[in-house]
Chain A
Amino acid sequence: MTTVAERSESSILPYITATGPFSDPDYEPGQEVLDFLHTSRILVIGAGGLGCEILKDLALSGFKSIDVIDMDTIDVSNLNRQFLFRRHDVGASKAETAANFVMARVAGVTINAHCCRIQDMTHAYYRQFTLVVCGLDSIEARRWMNATLCQIVTDNSADPLALIPLIDGGTEGFKGSARVILPGVSACYECSLDTLGVRTVYPVCTIANTPRLPEHCVEWASVLEWPRHWGDVKFDADDPLAVDWMYATALTRAKQFNINGVTRSLTLGVVKNIIPAIALTNAVVAAACCSEAFKLVTGCTASLENFMMYSGDDSIFTYTFKYERKENCAVCGYDSKTFTAQRWWTLQDFVDHIAEQNEVQMKQPSLATARKNLYLRKPEALEKATRPNLSKKLCDLVEDGTEEVAITDPQLPISVRCKIVFAGSDERAEFVDV
């Protein structure tokens, strides 16, 4: 293999050799800054739309030692924006393909690719890094990463190197955001969880009885008909035959109710919860994130405080503001949250209610107090033992307003601590089922 000369660093040197009018007065430019930039280890989470851009941006910002984690493989529908992939790459690991491409294009950069889940890596692995940049499309993965970096700070409070900044980018269509999180210092991802919109959920009674939109027909096919026909067989959106079945079933339903607009594309959109994605929003958000990575590592100028939202469908709009830490944040706070429950609620009613709350967002919550387990999903024996509690009245299980309940989810390293205040009547009101 012939050695290719490394690229000139003239594009970053102005910030490393000289201080500027907006630099911190303590900033000392020079070789040490450049050395630190070169030796800093950066972890990139996600090698998709944002990830491809992030890897390119970091490689051309002077970072030379990068890791990337992504468990996904390349799909045809990625090619309209994930510019490190070609049609012949379809089916290959995103992390590996992206890493190899960038290393071949920019000599001197080393990128270690990991085709796995972030949950597969240990705290010791994450502690190696100077900084983490997230380009994910999942809230759950972001929460997991955020909680992990916050935990590392808590577990190593005497070690300043345990503070690993998290830079998080997100996009959806023409909209996006970039933020800087200093775990344990500034607002963490969980602190602002309640500002995220929750995915539209169609009520089951609408799907079952009064469909009006094509989406309702697709949900009927996927939520009700698929399990009825196929039992425990999991629906695979990448299997064309399965998608055909889903489409045909939704279409039959739509015809029966005179509803127009069920197409194969719409069917896929609903069952896969497809979010529109374009190259340029990823470019904007990734560049904003990597600009912050460069600023944080070099210290050449102040970094983002701490959130910038971007919107590009109506002209160009950015808005920068500071999220504040929350005292009752489940990850970096010390206080518990308070939820209000109706006196007539069973534990099951509360579990359903809590799972939907913006500041909790747990799909499979388990609940326990210091005295007893209220409901645990795992292990099986405990699930069986605690299941009868679900039909008991909540107010008979938990002390009103004083007892702390811990809510956990197997998917998240997070424990939401809360107190429950009871209101309303003991009896459930008469209710017309709509």
Chain B
Amino acid sequence: MPIDTQKYDRQLRLWATTGQQSLATSHVCLVNANTLGCEVLKNLVLPGIGKFTIVDAEKVTQDDLSANFFLKASSLGEYRAEAAKNVLLELNPDVAGEAVTAFRDDGAFWKQFSLVVVSNQFCELGSLKERLWKWQVPLMVVNSVGFYGSLRVFAAELTAIESHPANPFGDLRLDKPWPELQRYVDAISLPALDLVDHAHVPYVVILIKALKEWRKLHAGGAPESSQEKREFKEGIARMARNIHTEVNFTEARDVSWRACQVTETPAGIHELMDLSRTALHAAPERNRIFWVLVSALRLFQKEAGTLPLSGVLPDMASDTASYVRLQDIYRAKARLDRLRFKKHVAAVLLSLEEGGEVSDEVAETFCKNARTLFVARSSNTDDLNTELVEILTRGESPGAMQAEYEDEGLANLYVYLSLLANTHHYNTRASAATLPDLYLAVREVLGSVHIPAKLDQTLQEVVRAQNREFHNTSSLMGGMAGQEALKVLMAQYRVLDNCFVWDGIKSRSDKWKV
């Protein structure tokens, strides 16, 4: 089916047709059509996933209607799965939906999904988690109780080629110009240029020239110490005829640090290339092509000594002809690298006794993003993991966020524990939770660990919520969980790795790797 570029215009500008295509072929399973679950699906149906299936044996109650916009009041007493499915399907005619009103435990049923989302309590969670892990189906468990929310991603391995880094590294190779680039730079004689042309030489040319001169005077070395880098920068200002009026030289001076950067393969990418030796044969099916490409990257790097050139030239002060010429030089080199890379891909595929090749588009996207590939690998450990328990016992802030709020970090962990205790209680007992119940649940979750006194407040807050969803928390968590689900389905952007908690009372959040 062709993509509706008008309807999806505002999101295609983020993840392009490749991302949209992945969405359109995905099938998401939601367990529990409660408020939170429906909000997650709303955020997936609107941008256009292919299909969803709701698994829910419950019938619509007054409590459901209190907070769930995607249940009509007239559906009171009907199956939640059916009622929610019908309302959600109205949001986007491109999407198909199905309702399942009895729990299924056959593999064929669960293996059809690209992702399973469990919303709030589900007493079969433990066994479902084990099985989805075995079948390599990613699972997200999302919770919303009162003002508190949490999200946990369970997947052995998630990858993204297009990770959309906030500050993409430039790949200009100023310290290692290839022969064509060096020849182009050498052919330009700055003193011979007239006033106008001199003020339009792109900074790439200026910096390569400056670095070459520097190396002549410094036994072939590049500026390393901060003193040297300062001198190098000042040298560039002196190359200008008038630094106050020549914008290109001002730019060159401002980005002189780029020339001092060594073109090298990032450590994280080295790790991935090493990992590819085993991952190529062991990775989940959905990631197989990713590891074929990383294996080819390893072969490329081994042969060429560098990664393939990205071929992207940022805008810079320049006349049109010089800029376009320079862009051609970068693109031509990227094209050559890409062809070479594709040969390695073919070799890897051949070694797998498959043969074939990847398309030019895939190779181009991969080479452009080769410096910022994203991989998250986690284990299937239970929630009560030793690291967090140890942190609790030490009483130190474990959070990555807002380090200045030491106590806040710990407070966020209390929120997470309180939610865990609540889930544990309702998954194992039918009665409404009291404070002593939750203390008992905490002990059962944490084992023999000392329970910090401050946990009392967040537990009380959870008791007050009476295991009910507050619409705004469910809507917020539904947004965040929907977002992470989209990343998993598109294999784009950097997905949560792997545990997140939201405190809607203090409007703060935190995340950890469990």
Tell me the complex Cα distance, A212–B47, Å: 33
Answer yes or no: A12 CB below 8 A from chain B CBs. yes
- CB proximity to A under 8 Å, residues B187-214: 195-196, 199-200
Which stretch from A114-122, A257-265, A335-343 is at the chain B interface?
A: A257-265
Check if A143 is an interface residue, CB within 8 A of chain B: no
**Which of B11, B166, B486, B508 is the one whose CB lies under 8 Å from A80?**
B11
A159 to chain B, nearest CB (A): 29
Residue contact B460 to A21, C-beta cutoff 8 Å:
yes
- Decide if A33 is an interface residue (CB 8 Å cutoff): no
Contact between B42 and A279, CB atoms less than 8 A apart:
yes
A57 close to chain B: CB less than 8 A: yes
* Interface pair B46/A279, CB less than 8 Å apart: yes
B133 within 8 A of A: no
Which B residues are in CB contact (< 8 Å) with A83? Answer: 42, 46, 91
Please, how many angstroms separate the alpha-carbon atoms of A21 and B10 in the complex? 43
Counting CB contacts under 8 A, is A106 at the interface?
yes
Tell me whether B62 and A316 are in contact (CB under 8 A).
Answer: no
Interface residues on B, range: 35 or more
Q: Is A314 an interface residue (CB 8 A)?
A: yes
Q: Is A188 an interface residue (CB 8 A)?
A: no
The answer on a CB contact under 8 Å between A287 and B475 is: yes
Q: In chain A between 412 and 434, which residues have their CB closer than 8 angstroms to a CB of chain B? A: 429-432, 434
How far apart are B124's CB and chain A's nearest CB, in angstroms? 25
Interface string of A255-295 (1 = CB under 8 A from B): 00111000001001100001111111111101110111010
Q: Which residue of A lies closest to B484 (CB)?
A: A316
A213 nearest in chain B by CB position: B315
What is the CA–CA distance of A173 and B19 in the complex, to the nearest angstrom?
15
List 29 interface pairs A-B (beta carbons < 8 Å), by A numbering: A5-B73, A7-B62, A11-B468, A14-B464, A20-B460, A20-B461, A21-B457, A60-B471, A77-B9, A80-B7, A86-B90, A174-B483, A212-B318, A275-B10, A278-B10, A279-B47, A280-B43, A283-B39, A288-B472, A290-B475, A302-B506, A308-B507, A313-B164, A316-B509, A318-B509, A320-B506, A432-B195, A432-B242, A434-B247
Question: Is residue A230 contacting chain B, with contact meaning CB distance below 8 A?
Answer: no
Whether A277 pairs with B323 at a CB distance below 8 angstroms is: no
Min CB gap A266→B, angstroms: 9
- The contact of A287 among B317, B319, B479, B508, by CB within 8 Å, is B479
CA distance A60 to B475 in the complex (A): 11
Nearest A residue to B504 by beta-carbon distance?
A291
- Please report the C-alpha to C-alpha distance between residue A5 and residue B77 in the assembled complex, in whole angstroms: 14
Please pick, from B74, B316, B456, B471, the residue contacting A11 in the complex, using a CB distance under 8 A.
B471
| B496 contacts A316, C-beta separation under 8 Å | yes
Interface flags for B249-281 (1: CB within 8 Å of A; 0: not) read 000000000000000000000000000000000
| Contacting pair A173 B14 (CB below 8 A) | yes
The answer to whether A280 touches B483 (Cβ under 8 A) is: yes
User: Which chain B positions have C-beta within 8 A of A434?
Assistant: 199-200, 245-248, 317
Known: A287-B472, A287-B479. A8 touches B10 (CB 8 A): no
A427 to B335, CA, bound (A): 52
Checking B316, B317, B486, B496 against A280 with a beta-carbon cut-off of 8 angstroms, the contacting residue is: B486
Nearest neighbor of B87 in chain A, beta-carbon distance: A105
Give which listed residue, A7, A12, A76, A432, contacts B7 with CB less than 8 A: A76
A11 touches B401 (CB 8 A): no
Bound-state Cα–Cα, A77 to B4, Å: 10
Q: Is residue A315 contacting chain B, with contact meaning CB distance below 8 A?
A: yes
For the complex formed, measure the closest distance between the CB of A319 and the CB atoms of chain B, giving whole angstroms: 7
Least CB distance, B243 to chain A, in whole angstroms = 11
Across the interface, do B65 and A8 meet the contact criterion of CB distance under 8 Å? yes
Residue A22, interface by CB 8 Å: yes
Partner of A76, one of B6, B11, B470, B484: B6
Q: Which A residue's beta carbon lies closest to that of B481?
A: A280
B14: A residues at CB distance < 8 A: 173-174, 276, 278
> How distant is the Cα of A371 from the Cα of B41 in the complex, in angstroms?
63
Q: How far is the CB of A294 from chain B (nearest CB, A)?
A: 7
- Nearest CB on A from B504, distance (A): 5
Q: Which residues of the partner chain A approach B456 to less than 8 Å between Cβ atoms?
A: 21
User: Which residues in chain B, 24-72, are within 8 Å of chain A measured between CB atoms?
Assistant: 35, 39, 42-43, 46-48, 62-63, 65-69, 72
B170 to chain A minimum Cβ distance, whole angstroms, is 16
How many A residues face the partner with a CB closer than 8 A? 81
Q: Is the CB of A81 within 8 A of B508?
A: no
Contact assessment for A291 and B476 in the assembled complex, using a CB-CB cutoff below 8 Å: yes
- B157 contacts the other chain (CB 8 A): no
Say yes or no for A97: interface residue by CB 8 A criterion: no
Binding site for A on B (CB under 8 A): 5-14, 35, 39, 42-43, 46-48, 62-63, 65-69, 72-74, 90-93, 146-147, 151, 164-166, 195-196, 199-200, 242, 244-248, 315-320, 323-324, 401-402, 456-458, 460-461, 464-466, 468-473, 475-476, 478-480, 482-484, 486, 493-497, 500, 502, 504-509, 511
Residue pair A316, B511 in contact (C-beta under 8 Å): yes
* Chain A residues within an 8 Å CB radius of B67: 11, 60
Determine the chain A residues whose CB is within 8 A of the CB of B504 once the complex forms. Answer: 288, 291
Q: Other CB < 8 Å A-B pairs besides A14-B466, A274-B9, A432-B245, 5 of them?
A: A77-B9, A80-B47, A210-B320, A283-B43, A291-B147
Q: Complex: how many Å from CA A269 to CA B47?
A: 19
Would you call B402 and A319 a contact (CB within 8 A)?
yes
Judge if A224 is at the interface, Cβ distance under 8 Å: no
In the complex, whether A61 has a CB less than 8 A from a CB of chain B is yes
On whether A288 and B494 interact (CB within 8 A), knowing A11-B470, A20-B464, A301-B505, the answer reads: no
Contact indicator B11/A277 (Cβ below 8 Å): yes
Min CB distance A267 to B, Å, is 13
Which chain A residue lies CB-closest to B202?
Answer: A212
Minimum distance in angstroms from A410 CB to a CB of chain B: 31
- Flag if A314 contacts B494 (CB, 8 Å): yes
Q: How far is the CA of A266 from the CA of B32 in the complex (A)?
A: 41
Asked whether any CB of chain B lies closer than 8 Å to the CB of A31, the reply is no
Q: Are B495 and A315 in contact (CB under 8 A)?
A: yes
- In the bound complex, what is the Cα–Cα distance between A265 and B10 (angstroms)? 10
In the bound complex, what is the Cα–Cα distance between A304 and B505 (angstroms)? 8
Q: Which of B69, B92, B247 has the most CB of A within 10 A?
A: B69
Establish whether residues A278 and B11, one from each chain, have CB atoms under 8 Å apart when the complex forms: yes
* B480:A11 contact, CB within 8 angstroms: no
Taking the nearest CB of chain B, how far is it from the CB of A300, in angstroms? 9
Complex contacts, B196 vs chain A, CB 8 Å = 432
Residues in A with CB closer than 8 Å to B508 are 318, 320
- Flag if A257 contacts B324 (CB, 8 Å): yes
Q: How distant is the Cα of A308 from the Cα of B506 in the complex, in angstroms? A: 10
Chain A positions within 8 Å of B72 at CB level = 105
A204 interface hit (Cβ, 8 Å):
no
Q: Is the CB of A22 within 8 A of B479?
A: no
Among candidates A60, A107, A274, A308, residue contacting B13 with C-beta atoms closer than 8 Å: A274
Cα of A18 to Cα of B67 in the assembled complex, Å: 19
Asked if A257 and B244 make an inter-chain contact with CB atoms under 8 angstroms apart, the answer reads no
Interchain CA distance A15-B93 in the complex, whole Å: 38
List of B residues within 8 angstroms of A18 by Cβ: 464
The listed residue (B6, B46, B242, B476) touching A284 by CB distance below 8 A is: B476
CB distance from B475 to the nearest CB of A (A): 4
Known: A210-B318, A291-B476, A314-B494. A80 touches B147 (CB 8 A): no
Q: Chain B residues near A268: list those with CB within 8 A.
A: 9
A209-234: contact bitstring with B at CB < 8 Å (1 yes, 0 no)? 11111000000000000000000000
Are A11 and B493 neighbours in the complex by a CB distance under 8 Å? no
Cross-chain contact B473 with A287 (CB below 8 angstroms) = yes
Q: Which of B315, B472, B475, B480 sits near A212, CB closer than 8 Å?
A: B315
Q: Determine which of B73, B319, B471, B493 lies in contact with A314 in the assembled complex, contact meaning CB atoms within 8 Å.
A: B493
Minimum Cβ distance to chain A for residue B39 (Å): 7
- CB-nearest residue of chain B to A19: B464
Asked if B47 and A22 sit within 8 Å, CB to CB, the answer is no
With a cutoff of 8 Å between Cβ atoms, the chain A residues found around residue B39 in the complex are 283
- Looking at B8, B65, B458, B511, the one whose CB has the most chain A CB atoms below 10 A away is B65
Residue of A nearest to B402 (CB): A319
- Indicate whether A56 reaches chain B with its CB closer than 8 angstroms: yes
Chain A residues whose C-beta falls within 8 Å of the C-beta of B68 in the assembled complex: 60
B-side contacts of A22, CB under 8 Å:
457, 461, 505-506
